[in-house]
Amino acid sequence: MTGIGRRAVLAGLAASWAGSISLRAAGLSDAPASGAPRIAALDWGIAATLMALGVVPVGVPAPSWYARYVVDPVLPASVVDVGLLFTPNFELLLALAPSLIVTTPVLQQAAPMLQRIAPVYGDLLFQPAPDVLEIAERGTLGLADRIGIRAAGERLVESTRTELNMAGQRLSGYAGRPVLLASPLDNRHVSLFGPNSLYGAVLRHAGLTLAEPNIAGEFIIVGLEKLGAYSDATAVLMDSPVAPGMAGRLTENRLWRTFPFVREGRLHVLPAVLGSGGLPSASRFARLLTAALSDNGKGTP
């Protein structure tokens, strides 16, 4: 073994030892369940999709934020925090000894370093586009194929379609009525979501109409005063995980209280839903939307 080779091995062993100490210090075991695949998911949507496929990832960035933003499926406490969403902790990843690391194209530049730890699979579950749901389905099936559980992927695709169809049936009373989708950034600005967002795709699949169909990307940021143009809309306001409770605090804004959808009771507030979360997020948004808009389950405005 050359000097460089020995140094590389020793560095790897030291990183693994340090990472194992970090795992034990966190009260977590780095031992895998017998026969379970060891997959590190470096994206919350990928982690949620793995959970929905019946595979618990060994490591996920910032699980506390996953719990706040993704919510369902719930990550068990055994999942190790492997750093920040865009800057994973390579020492912890090495200590976890995954058999596969799954990332999104956002982390493509880190792939050469990650490949020194384990094979890397880049999965695309979200892209702002008219076929955003189809992209999520293809990504889900591709991930399922990569880890050898195609049947589970097909079941997840089918169950998601069924759930969205059921939402459409329950919300049939809203067909043809404009629905405004937004999320507050502060008490003066909101993100306004368009048809190329996951939320817009769920509405479209359920037979509902977006109040603002002319947004090219996922969303645009607008001043609160712009929402006055949507006087006939039913407003769906999703809370922000960055500013929890902001949706409720908008009632303190005098301008907000003048909007017809506020004054006439056509405003519905939902918890935060991860817009890049793939099929699990689409299902969760459909459930929350149905619960918020339904009247005794009939979808009557």
CA 61 to chain centre: 13
> 175-293: same fold as 8-123?
yes
pLDDT band at 35 (very low <50, low <70, confident <90, very high): low
| CB environment 123-149: b (16+ within 10 A), e (fewer) | bbbbebeeebbebbbebbbebbebbeb
How far apart are the C-alpha atoms of 143 and 46, rounded to whole Å?
Answer: 9
Residue ranges per structural domain of the chain? 8-123, 175-293
CATH of domain 8-123: 3.40.50.1980
pLDDT number for residue 295: 58
How far apart are the C-alpha atoms of 201 and 277, rounded to whole Å?
Answer: 13
**Interval 213-246: pLDDT, tens:** 999 999 999 999 999 999 899 999 999 877 788 8
pLDDT at 138 over 80: yes
Task: Please answer whether residues 173 and 300 qualify as being in contact, where contact means their C-beta atoms are separated by less than 8 angstroms.
Answer: yes
pLDDT number for residue 172: 92
CATH architecture of 175-293: 3-Layer(aba) Sandwich (3.40)
**Interval 241-263: pLDDT, tens:** 777 888 888 888 899 999 999 99
How far apart are the C-alpha atoms of 86 and 48, rounded to whole Å?
Answer: 17
**Interval 170-210: pLDDT, tens:** 999 998 899 999 999 988 999 999 999 999 999 999 999 99
pLDDT at 32 over 70: no
As a whole number, mean pLDDT of residues 113-123 equals: 95
As a whole number, mean pLDDT of residues 11-19 equals: 37
pLDDT at 54 over 60: yes
